[in-house]
Amino acid sequence: MICDGIENCLQYIDNFDPEKSKNPFAYFTQIIYYAFLRRIQKEKKQMEIKNKILEKSGYDEVMHTDSYTGDMQGMNANAADMGSIKENIEIKMNR
């Protein structure tokens, strides 16, 4: 987000007109504020896309533990980790 704000400030620095305003801080603050809003919207869209892909492909296909070849104790821990990840995704999807 910070990089987006800096990039936008550099991109629009030439548009600042000191005859219209004597406060460049406010100008750059607005540029950064809207850059942050755009980044948040982009990330929300990406999260929605990721969630739709997970829904369509099914959690079990994405998060299977069949290919694990370690010891049984490690396999149980791995399955427990996958189960908690799956629960977290389901909770987030239901919000």
pLDDT in tens, 6-59: 999 999 999 999 999 999 999 999 999 999 999 999 999 999 998 888 878 776
Q: Do residue 24 and residue 4 come from a single domain?
A: yes
Q: Do residue 43 and residue 72 come from a single domain?
A: no
If phi over 0 gives left and psi between -120 and 50 gives alpha, with beta otherwise, what is residue 58?
Answer: left
Q: Do residue 73 and residue 47 come from a single domain?
A: no
| pLDDT: which is higher, 60 or 48 | 48
Check residue 19 and give its pLDDT: 94
Exposure string of 33-66, with b = 16+ CB inside 10 Å and e = fewer, is eebeeeeeeeeeeeeeeeeeebeeeebeeeeeee
Q: Do residue 45 and residue 10 come from a single domain?
A: yes
- Say how far apart CA 79 and CA 76 lie, in whole Å: 5
Q: Do residue 6 and residue 34 come from a single domain?
A: yes
Question: Structure pTM?
Answer: 0.58
Q: Do residue 10 and residue 53 come from a single domain?
A: yes
- Say how far apart CA 81 and CA 95 lie, in whole Å: 22
Q: Do residue 53 and residue 71 come from a single domain?
A: no
- The domain in which residue 80 lies consists of 66-95
Q: How many domains does the chain have?
A: 2
